[in-house]
Copies of this chain bind each other. A is one copy, B any other.
């Protein structure tokens, strides 16, 4: 049996709000938990990275660094910053990946800049109108992917169809779901319910080879009715951020209850860990990062407030995608197969998997 070459993942060491400390700690955590799976190239201010690495003791052989003298901050205008800050950690890191010196790039930095850099430096996959970002939602039947999560605010039906194709392939190639179910987020189950764009999109999805189960409603997300959930980036972003706010809301509410008295305080003390465990997949820290789909490469975006654990999980998301044949399948599928009718019970993902 041939030994597979180790994957190389570039990590933006200057990305998050607590960079480079959390980035370095997260990278070391990922290597410790998955020895031999991948190497990590840390990109950014080399002296600060070295200093940070030093504080953790001996530096593993699977870590290397590449210097980048600039940083794109959260306040920089995304596209302009990617173009003008040529030596930014995002531009340098993405270019390393583009040049084939690494298999993926991950950053917890400026989301807009990551998107711009993905499109500008890696380029769109042929046939993809608009790259998209998916978000992961927990459900009673396992994790599902919702897209678009905020990149494409106003969408046409064709865009939503492409998101459905890319989301289905992500779900089959990376999440390993067989023939993943696709639901179109709307305001009623009937095909004729929804906004004008949704009603048109429903028709395109019905005519596709995707495993389209029809419209789903807001209540069906956490119930796990579909594994791939399609909506425009306006709806997706609002529902994602609403969902992310639930744990903090519950925590504050339960604290209010605990403040009532000693018995209440004890009760809440006992429930903290089960509640945390029950909610943990609503937590960005566990998810780590979301992939940019539709670009010629593997680009994963993390949360600005990423902890070391979140950084570690972001690296794992990048590794999963790098290990899959996702982009090959997306290129084959988009445009060509998606809109021709599903013939004989053969699944869309079977058709597009090599």
Residue positions of A touching B, CB distance < 8 A: 140, 150, 153-154, 185-187, 194-196, 198, 217-223, 231-235, 237-246, 248-250, 252-254, 256-258, 264, 267-268, 270-271, 274-275, 277-279
Once bound together, how far apart are the Cα atoms of A194 and B233, in whole Å?
Answer: 10
CA distance in complex: A234, B239 (Å): 12
Q: How far is the CB of A224 from chain B (nearest CB, A)?
A: 9
Q: Which residues of B lie under 8 Å from residue A234 when comparing CB positions?
A: 186-187, 194-195, 198, 235
B contact residues around A235 at 8 Å (CB): 234-235, 238
Task: Give the CA-CA distance A129 to B256 in the complex, in Å.
Answer: 42
Complex Cα spacing A297 to B232, Å: 36
A140 touches B252 (CB 8 A): yes
Cα separation A196 to B231 with both chains bound (whole Å): 16
Chain B residues with CB below 8 A from A264, complex form = 274
A232 to chain B: which residues have CB within 8 Å?
195
Pairs of residues from A and B, 7 with the lowest C-beta to C-beta distance, nearest first = A218-B241, A271-B271, A218-B242, A253-B278, A218-B238, A219-B245, A222-B249
Q: A244-B219, A270-B267, A271-B275 are in contact. Are A249 and B187 (CB under 8 A)?
A: no
Min C-beta distance of A276 to chain B, whole Å: 10
Bound-state Cα–Cα, A244 to B250, Å? 14
Chain B nearest CB: distance from A304 CB in Å? 13
Residues on the B chain within 8 Å of A244, using CB: 218-219
